[in-house]
Structure 1
């Protein structure tokens, strides 16, 4: 889906498809250098990180494994409740592995901070975070993020895996959702 297909639903395109792919290639080069001799497990956070995880994994040249977790602090709302639930846990063991959490967007940081601590409790060699988007103005908890694609304003965004009510995930760019859509 292209922005022009839903232009009435967006107030602005923040990051284009080309910008996303260029930045993911840059992040992949950094990750390749940092993890060139390590046993790496990419952990994608469902559902939003599907696009980021797929394109990042394809851009990487290091051997790696992939697994998925589903956690939620949103429910059907546009704001985080602060209560984190595991909806799908990992299949892979983490002991001694270098875990790289792949996330679509960091809002408050509450969910990601909880997830990082949860994974650290499982005995990995390291746990780092790669996020396509970060909203610094929305942060309630400080989260150390090693790889960040773009810092964006604290607006409700959709596209490239991010949704509202399970729609707009297939938008190839990231845009600000018009308030009339969700109010």
Structure 2
């Protein structure tokens, strides 16, 4: 039991270390561009005035939407996609750390999907439980989240323009085109599911 706890603690330390801090994003430029070329996307770079920090942005079209990836020397990988909504839908899947475990003790409830490994790793929340559980019943979606150290995956609804923003923050260990393509697939699978449910246009 103690050995299991120490492994979990080590995982958290590794995740925090790889999500924050400085990395040279220029080392990822080549495979970001390769994926953009393969999928009809575009890559842009932006540097600070002193040219000592850089940010990469990758946009890939899918259906009528665009999935956007951004990462910089000092900020982790963020993926997002804005979609027209037919109705409000929000969910949150986040790495279950100590703070979130304490919040659960004070009444913050999470959704259990019946997958022991996934339920242990993530705190899952959403008012539309059936849609969230249906989304996570897809083994490929769960596998991508687990294997790529996805820290958070969520959707938020904007009443002002009737849109849903799908967003994810990911570990800074993504270092190959194949891994980046997997994360793009995560968004594609989710978009397909939300369209099938009639949630997005």
Q: Please report the TM-score for the alignment, with normalisation by the length of structure 1.
A: 0.29
Q: Please report the TM-score for the alignment, with normalisation by the length of structure 2.
A: 0.27
Of Structure 1 and Structure 2, the greater helix share is in 2
